[in-house]
A and B are shown apart, each in its own frame.
Chain A
Amino acid sequence: MINIVWLILLSVGIIVAGFSCLGIENTSAGWIMEPTWAPLMDITNSVFGEAKHAVTLAFGLIGIMALWLGIMKIAEKSGLIQVIAKGLKPIMVWLFPEVPPDHPAMGSIIMAIAASMLGLGNAATPLGLKAIGELQKLNKIKDTATNAMCTYMAMSTSSVTIIPATIVGIRSAANSTNPTEVIGPVIVATGISTTVAIIMSKLLQKLPRYQLPEVDGTVDTIEEN
């Protein structure tokens, strides 16, 4: 998918510039044609400029990323994430009624969400994979997503965020006068999108076309057999 998008941006751009070179314009004197190389030369110049720009920007990002990941390492080692996880437990029971409160899936989901809230992208992914693996253990039809899975996936893709560390880094690398001014708006926007994710997953699971097929017996009996 990303391959197609990248290719389209690149090729459509060059083709459009190629056509602009014909210099066809609708003036008061009717359609005129003034061929010029300028649009293609602009592209060459901006491509080299931007390639250089990409690297200077990444270098500007090093310091802020180091600072943030350093602080987050302390949070990780001190067990702060587990503390956050404990606080979120009552909400989790409401969000995932199909999952028994003491099932390991609950703990994994909380840990994964807590990690992504703090902007720990690298730590969040393995934790998230663990969480969905635990949910799969409760799944009766192994190739079909459960309600809990859909709710969890909708929540993780709506990115519950407290500190958008990378964004703050990029803004600071681009010499913003106030790189952190977006933190408040991000928290509000992410809160709205996560709320929508939860509501939509709870509503859609009731639609006939998304109903789970009926299965006899419970997971436990299947596992015992």
Chain B
Amino acid sequence: MFQNIINGISVLAIPLILLFIPIYGYFKKVKVYEVFTEGAKEGFEVAIKIIPFLVAIFLAISVFRSSGAMDFLAWILAPITNFIGMPGELLPLAFMRPLSGSGALGIVSNLVTTYGPDSMIGRMASVMMGSTETTFYILAVYFGSISVRKTRHALPAALTADLAGIISSVIICHIIFD
């Protein structure tokens, strides 16, 4: 039941949005075709802009993995990751995610291409990436912009939420894809 609903949302989301948004835009007198291409241009820029970050992270991750250092780290932390059913390969992602968006994106891309997007690791990495944020960066930028120095409980609350996001990604993937 739960699985069917989740799968239904996954299947329907994109077609419904592709149907609804242009029709809505048309009735609101938006020049849908022209505005679409205008936005699409930005997509090109985004994809090109992330290349340096992807190369930097792919480099570091491939060295860390092909040297065997990753296996060693996974082995040390195995008791914790096994407990929540998380493959050790996802550890670097869990550490990188709150620190750097482009860094985490690089790790996800790497995991997805190395283990395959439809493997359990690929799926978990995708869900983790989609459901958490670059906490330290956002807090620094936002609070920095208004010169607030005493951030009180913002960081502990945000990090607890990240942890909840990571653990629930693992559990949900087991429920849906196992």
Contact = CB atoms under 8 A, between A and B. Distances in A.
Interface in A18-43: 20, 39, 42-43
B169 A185 contact: yes
Given A174-B116, A204-B157, 12 more contacts: A5-B99, A20-B68, A74-B30, A129-B142, A142-B148, A153-B139, A157-B133, A176-B112, A182-B127, A189-B128, A192-B164, A193-B132
Contacts of A79: 28
Contacts of B141: 125, 129
B1 interface: no
28 contacts: A1-B100, A1-B136, A2-B100, A13-B60, A16-B69, A42-B67, A51-B59, A58-B51, A65-B47, A125-B141, A132-B145, A153-B154, A157-B139, A157-B162, A158-B165, A162-B13, A168-B14, A170-B117, A171-B112, A171-B122, A178-B118, A184-B5, A184-B10, A185-B176, A187-B9, A188-B168, A189-B165, A200-B160
A17 B66 contact: yes
Interface in A66-85: 66-80
A80 B54 CA distance: 33
A190 to B, nearest CB: 4
Contacts of B160: 196-197, 200
A-B complex: 4 closest residue pairs judged by Cβ atoms: A73-B39, A164-B130, A66-B43, A193-B165
Contacts of A70: 35-40, 43
A62 interface: yes
B172 A181 contact: no
Interface in B124-178: 126-136, 138-139, 141-143, 145-154, 156-158, 160-162, 164-165, 168-169, 172-173, 176-177
Interface residues of A, number: 106
Interface of B: 5-11, 13-14, 17-18, 21-22, 24-25, 28, 30, 32, 35-44, 46-48, 50-51, 54-69, 72, 92, 95-96, 99-100, 103, 105-106, 108-110, 112-113, 116-118, 122-123, 126-136, 138-139, 141-143, 145-154, 156-158, 160-162, 164-165, 168-169, 172-173, 176-177
Given A5-B95, A159-B133, A187-B9, A136 B146 contact: yes
B125 to A, nearest CB: 9
State the majority secondary structure of interface residues on B: helix
A13 B152 contact: no
Interface of A: 1-2, 5-6, 9-10, 12-14, 16-17, 20, 39, 42-43, 46-47, 49-51, 53-55, 57-59, 61-80, 122, 125, 128-129, 132-133, 135-136, 139, 142-145, 149-151, 153-154, 156-159, 161-164, 166-168, 170-171, 174-190, 192-194, 196-197, 200-201, 204-205, 207, 210, 212
A1 B99 contact: yes
B161 A133 contact: no
Nearest to A133: B146
Given A47-B63, A161-B130, A77 B30 contact: yes
A46 B66 contact: yes
Contact of B46 (A69, A176, A197): A69
